[in-house]
Amino acid sequence: MDLAWVESHRSPESRSGLVPRPGERLLAGGTWLFSEPQPDVTGLVDLTAMNWEPWEALPDGGLRLAATCTVQQARQAPWPSPVLARQCADALLMSFKVQAAATVGGNLCLGLPAGAMIALTAALAGEAVVWTPDGAERRTPVAAFVRDAGVVDLGPGEVLRAVELPGRALRAPTAFRRAALTSYGRSAALVIGRRESDAVVLTLTASVPRPVVLVLPPAPSAGAVRRAVADAGNDVGWYDDPHGAPDWRAAQTDLLAAEVCAELTGVVA
């Protein structure tokens, strides 16, 4: 849709140009920004003009995804195993046109429960790299970066620069389960598991307002998984929107978590 209130558009090529002026909003892929009226936005600052490399390899075998890396580019990055990235990209149920424009950073900064790039990067122990307006940088785990539905850990003038994923998490076996009310519906519950040598790490998204990371023993019992999921729901609350009722989301998350643990550990509950 046209953003009728926008009067200016800047394409900064250096960091100093990212400092917003009154009424300005950062523009990444624009797939959300142009999807609804933005009456408080009078100027756009196009992040893609920074021309960041979509991804870079890290010395430990990890990956650094630029905030402007598109979902499509993220799919094509050199993952040790590309399966999880593809599963998460497809969980957004976007057409290929949207995947080509929507960015990893835009997905994280929107902070929607169904943000599948949030799920991917939280499940892989991702760290958000945030540029602060004084020229410094700070880091925070993705799971903490998203604080609530639509609420993220970004202060005025801060820019999400990248997400770094450690090599050890990328090399770990993972399992993915997703539930939605309809075949092509928005994610209502999404559980990703990662098997470490000393733990099974479950990441819950979509059914909860913010990512929840549960660190369980290497071969958790069915009861332990069930209790951990129920405690998480009691702690943060089950999300409620037209894509699923809270009690249904709780039940789906319980089921998916059990399936994920069974796949990763070979122990069927």
Ligand X SMILES: Cc1cc2nc3c(=O)[nH]c(=O)nc-3n(C[C@H](O)[C@H](O)[C@H](O)COP(=O)(O)OP(=O)(O)OC[C@H]3O[C@@H](n4cnc5c(N)ncnc54)[C@H](O)[C@@H]3O)c2cc1C
Provide, rounded to whole angstroms, the least separation between the CB of residue 219 and ligand X: 33
Q: Single out the residue of 19, 98, 144, 236 in contact with ligand X (rule: CB under 6 A).
A: 98
Exposed, middle or buried by CB within 10 Å (0-12, 13-18, 19+), for 114?
buried
Q: Give residue 169's Cα distance to chain centre.
A: 15
Contacts of 110 (CB under 8 A, 6+ apart): 32, 150, 152
Q: Single out the residue of 6, 12, 23, 25 in contact with ligand X (rule: CB under 6 A).
A: 25
Please list every residue from 33 through 72 that binds ligand X, using CB under 6 A: 33, 35, 47, 67
Provide, rounded to whole angstroms, the least separation between the CB of residue 190 and ligand X: 10
Exposed, middle or buried by CB within 10 Å (0-12, 13-18, 19+), for 40?
exposed
Give whole-number Cα distances, 85 to 6, 77, 111, 113, in Å. Answer: 35, 9, 18, 17
If the CB atoms of residues 48 and 173 are measured against ligand X, the closer one turns out to be 48
Piece of the chain touching ligand X by CB under 6 A; list 94-102, 141-149, 177-185, 231-239: 94-102
Provide, rounded to whole angstroms, the least separation between the CB of residue 50 and ligand X: 9
Contacts with ligand X by CB under 6 A: the residue count is 32
Is the Cβ–Cβ distance between 1 and 41 less than 8 Å? no
Tell me if 132 contacts ligand X by CB under 6 A.
no
Is the Cβ–Cβ distance between 185 and 95 less than 8 Å? no
Provide, rounded to whole angstroms, the least separation between the CB of residue 196 and ligand X: 27
If the CB atoms of residues 154 and 257 are measured against ligand X, the closer one turns out to be 154
CA 206 to CA 117: how far, in whole Å?
12
Is the Cβ–Cβ distance between 253 and 189 less than 8 Å? yes
If the CB atoms of residues 72 and 174 are measured against ligand X, the closer one turns out to be 72
Piece of the chain touching ligand X by CB under 6 A; list 95-103, 188-196, 232-240, 244-252: 95-103
Q: Single out the residue of 114, 165, 191, 200 in contact with ligand X (rule: CB under 6 A).
A: 114
CA 218 to CA 195: how far, in whole Å?
7
DSSP letters, 11-38, are --SSGGGGSPPTTEEEESS-TTGGGS--
Provide, rounded to whole angstroms, the least separation between the CB of residue 200 and ligand X: 26
Handedness of CA 32, 35, 36, 39 (dihedral sign): positive
Tell me if 107 contacts ligand X by CB under 6 A.
yes
Please list every residue from 185 through 224 that binds ligand X, using CB under 6 A: 186
If the CB atoms of residues 167 and 185 are measured against ligand X, the closer one turns out to be 185
Tell me if 160 contacts ligand X by CB under 6 A.
yes
Phi-psi region of 93 (alpha: psi -120 to 50; beta: other; left: phi over 0): left
Residues of this chain that interact with ligand X (CB under 6 A) are 25-33, 35, 47, 67, 92-94, 98, 101-103, 105-107, 109-110, 112, 114-116, 154, 159-160, 186
